[in-house]
Amino acid sequence: MHHHKLWIFANIAAIILSIVYIWFLRPHDSSILITAQFLSQIGVILFLININMYFIFLVIRKTSLRKVKISLAKFSRFLMKWHIKIALYGTTVIFGHALINLFELGPVIGFNHLKLLSGYLAILCLLFTLFAGYLRHKKASGFRRKFHLITAFVFLGVFLFHMFVFI
């Protein structure tokens, strides 16, 4: 199996798992908490779109298929124009998700529950990722590219952990 097919499968699986977990394993009666779930689902999709930029560039570098390189290069040029906007939209919906859950769930489950603690950590990692992205945008360098990449993958790991912590 080609690595890019495995990555596509992993992305589809992550979205399906998040849908099943958010909507079927963690249902809520409260419309405000359902709004928070909807915002989290949008955030998951937006952040997965952005994290995939790394894998698009990886396939461009690693593949020997000229057609694949050309089509992915064209697609990545299009997607990079939206990368910052997607990150800011994702951050906005995640802050909405966080605020709702902080005020609605915090008093019920406790502000030091693992779900909320991992959420605090996810927000902190997201802010580091945005800062690293801002630095990279202002002046590109190998260090800034790697710093943004590392913070993005740490954020991905923390937000996936947060997503699957049971309440």
Stated pTM of the model: 0.88
The count of structural domains within the chain is: 1
78-98 per-position pLDDT tens digit = 999 999 999 999 999 999 999
2-12 per-position pLDDT tens digit = 666 787 788 88
Q: At which residue do the structure tokens 């360098």 appear? A: 141
Domain span holding position 140? 3-164
12-39 per-position pLDDT tens digit = 888 888 888 888 887 778 899 999 999 9
Share of the chain above pLDDT 70, in %: 98
